């Protein structure tokens, strides 16, 4: 009884920790089972929270879903994609490094649960305008980060012929489609094929602008 009371007191005295735990449990459940198939009771049970505690932080399931998108899915995109591309020596190197890291992770795991953003985008974008706006905002931030990194390459004299916004859309769409196929196939093979194709086309897409020939 004392041990149970102590655990309950720790949860009560750590509201921020409980909120983080609720978000983590919800994010994992939405990834594994989907938003609609996950019940509030599933999340309460997984987080060890009461209904009152959950509703104190998230009055509705929709509020919890939006928080997962904004605080967990957006963070995953930032850590998995944006930071590695921004810190790479060149845009193309960063993109291929991300593909390589994800492929290695999936090969080691032996299972593909899909991209959290893709999964929720497919399930929720038509269900509610607030969900759609949240999903769209994450995609926009992802594309904008790649475009901005490419503009830095251009400022350094590379990739002068590339359209940064269009190239960023191409990369995000390529990855998202390959990840959806990988989930259906339960194999990293589509991602590996996509990475190989990107490696073959990016040198031409991002080649420095050729100076006009001067005929003497």
3-state SS of 37-66 is: CCCHHHHHHHHCCCHHHHHHHCCCHHHHHH
| Residues counted in the chain | 216
What is residue 161's predicted lDDT score, i.e. its pLDDT? 84
> Residue 82 belongs to a domain with what CATH number?
1.10.357.10
Last residue of a domain, one of 39, 59, 79: 59
- Domain assignment present for residue 216? The answer is no
Q: Which structural domain, as residue segments, surrounds residue 128?
A: 62-205
**Residue corresponding to tokens 């490094």:** 97
List pLDDT tens digits, range 48-68. 999 999 999 999 999 999 999
Q: Considering 12, 44, 59, which residue would you say is the last residue of a domain? A: 59
Question: Measuring CA to CA, how many Å separate 187 from each of 79, 108, 117?
Answer: 23, 11, 19
Confidence of residue 176 (pLDDT cuts 50, 70, 90): very high
pLDDT band with cut points at 50, 70 and 90 for residue 146: very high
End-to-end, the C-alpha distance of the chain in Å comes to 94
* Whether residue 17 is found in the same domain as residue 46: yes
- In a domain? residue 214: no
- pLDDT band (50, 70, 90) for residue 1: very low
- H/E stretch holding 116: helix 116-124
Looking at the structure of the chain, the number of domains it has is: 2
Does residue 216 register a pLDDT over 60? no
- pTM, to two decimals: 0.86
Q: Are residues 27 and 68 in the same domain?
A: no
């Amino acid at each position: 009884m004392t041990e149970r009371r102590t655990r309950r007191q720790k949860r009560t005295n750590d509201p921020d920790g409980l909120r983080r735990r609720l978000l983590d449990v919800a994010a994992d459940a939405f990834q594994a089972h989907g938003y609609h198939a996950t019940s509030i009771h599933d999340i309460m049970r997984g987080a060890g929270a009461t209904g009152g505690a959950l509703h104190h932080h998230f009055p509705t399931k929709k509020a919890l879903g939006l928080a997962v998108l904004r605080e967990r899915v957006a963070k995953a995109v930032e850590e998995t994609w944006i930071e590695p591309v921004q810190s790479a020596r060149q845009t193309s190197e960063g993109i291929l490094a991300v593909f390589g890291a994800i492929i290695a992770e999936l090969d080691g795991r032996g299972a593909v649960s899909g991209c959290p953003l893709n999964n929720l985008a497919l399930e929720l974008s038509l269900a509610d305008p607030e969900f759609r706006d949240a999903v769209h905002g994450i995609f926009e931030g992802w594309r904008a980060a790649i475009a901005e990194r490419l503009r830095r390459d251009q400022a350094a004299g590379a990739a002068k012929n590339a359209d940064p916004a269009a190239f960023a859309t191409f990369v995000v769409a390529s990855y998202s489609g390959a990840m959806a196929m990988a989930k259906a196939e339960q194999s990293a093979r589509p991602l590996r094929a996509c990475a190989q194709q990107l490696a073959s086309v990016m040198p031409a897409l991002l080649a420095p602008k050729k100076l006009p020939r001067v005929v003497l």
